[in-house]
Amino acid sequence: MICSLLYLCASRPDIMFTDPKESHLTTVKRILRYLKHTPSIGLWYPKSASFELLGYSDSDFTGCRVERKSTSGGCYLLGRSLVSWSSKKQNYVSLSTAEAEYIAAGSSCAQLLYMKQMLKDYGVELTRIPLLCDNESAVKLTNNLVQHS
């Protein structure tokens, strides 16, 4: 039963973060009752849709008024379905919007590589994964193979 629920967590994000407060068996039964009454909820992958991984990256420059740190964010789609998203305050104070966006793109790239490896474990091989960023300076910095620090 537990292995089946772990498999379901990969395809049903609405039960991924269930926090058991009772015994494990009672919690498993509660999740199974929930699944029985919500069969139409879940990730939908139509046959006609492309099965490609796509990431979006963004950042706000010095969004925290106290520490002057930026917030990185990203969302990740598999086909047309949102499968993951993240938002986190950056560890360092960025000196420019380009630097804040570059840090956000690096974090999103790490997440996409993790997801690519997970899909490879499921037997899905991806060769190209686009990561879209809305800052031209950060994109140029990422594409420059010489000036990386």
In this structure, the answer to whether residues 75 and 114 fall within a common structural domain is yes
Q: Is residue 45 part of a domain?
A: no
Strand order in the sheet with 53-60: 81-89, 71-78, 53-60, 131-133
Per-residue pLDDT of 88-134, as tens digits, reads 887 778 777 778 888 888 888 899 999 999 888 888 888 889 988 88
Residue 99's domain spans which residues?
53-143
Burial of 43 (0-12, 13-18, 19+ CB in 10 A): middle
Give me the amino acid identity at 46.
P
In this structure, the answer to whether residues 33 and 59 fall within a common structural domain is no
pTM, rounded to two decimals: 0.61
In this structure, the answer to whether residues 128 and 86 fall within a common structural domain is yes
